[in-house]
Amino acid sequence: MEAASIAHSAGQGEHHGPPAAHRSSRVEPQLLGMLLFIISEVMVFGAFFTAYFFIRVAQGEPWPAPGTQLPVAVAGFNTAILMSSSFTLHWAETSLKRGNRFGLKAGILTTFLLGCTFLFIQINEYANIGFAPQDHAQQTIFYSLTGLHGAHVFIGLVLLLIVTIRAFRGHYSPEEHRGVEVPGIYWHFVDIMWLVVYTTVYLI
C-alpha cells in the first residue's frame, strides 16, 4: 500500500511536455530581437559605406562628380525635421510611462507626420536633383545610400502608423509600453543613421 502511494506521488510529480524555456539573457525577447536586427542593418549600411569610401579614398575621385551639385541646404532642413521626430517620439514614450495619454497620442502622431514630411522631401529631391543613378559611380552610391535609408524610413513609418492607430484605440499603458518602445528604438536608429549619411554624403 505504501509502495503504491509512493508510486502515485512520483507520477504526480512527473512533467509532461516540453521543458520550460531557459532564458539565459535578462533582455526581453522583443527588445533583444530588435537590437539584433539593428546590428544586421548596421552591417548592410556598412557595405554601402565601404563602396562610398572606396570611390572617394582609394580611387581619389571627386565628390560629387564634376558637373553635379548636391542640395545641401534642403537636405539639412530635412535632417532637422527627422531629428525633431526623435524628440517627439521621446515625448510620446515618456508620456505613456507617466500615464499621459494625450501626450502619447500627440507625440506619436507628430512623429509619424514628421517622418512622412521627411520622405516626401527626399522624393522631391530625387525628382529635381538633375542626375540619375546610372550617370556615374558617385551618383550610384548617392542613390544607394540615401535610397537604402529612405526604405528604412518607409518601414519605420509603417511601424509608427500601427503604433499610432493602437495608441488612439487605447491599447497601451504605463505597464504595457513595449509596443511603443521597441518600434521607437528602430526609429531612433533610423534617425541616427541619417545623421551619419547626411554628414558623410552631403557635408564631407
Report the CATH number at residue 157: 1.20.120.80
Residue 152 lies in a domain: yes
Higher pLDDT: 25 or 26? It is 26
Residue 85 lies in a domain: yes
CA distances from 150 to 4, 93, 128, 132, 144 (A): 70, 24, 17, 16, 10
| Model confidence band, residue 20 (pLDDT cutoffs 50, 70, 90) | low
Residue 92 lies in a domain: yes
Residue 15 lies in a domain: no
Distance CA 36, CA 146 (A): 23
| Model confidence band, residue 31 (pLDDT cutoffs 50, 70, 90) | confident
* pLDDT tens digits along 128-174: 998 988 888 889 999 999 999 999 999 999 999 999 999 999 899 98
Residue 197 lies in a domain: yes
Residue 14 lies in a domain: no
Q: What is the pTM of this model?
A: 0.83
Q: Which residue segment(s) compose the domain that 65 sits in?
A: 28-203
Provide the number of structural domains found in the chain.
1
| Model confidence band, residue 204 (pLDDT cutoffs 50, 70, 90) | confident
Grid coordinates representing 100 are: 499621459
| Model confidence band, residue 176 (pLDDT cutoffs 50, 70, 90) | confident
Residue 23 lies in a domain: no
Residue 11 lies in a domain: no
Total Cβ atoms within 10 A of residue 196 = 14
Please give the pLDDT value at position 152: 96
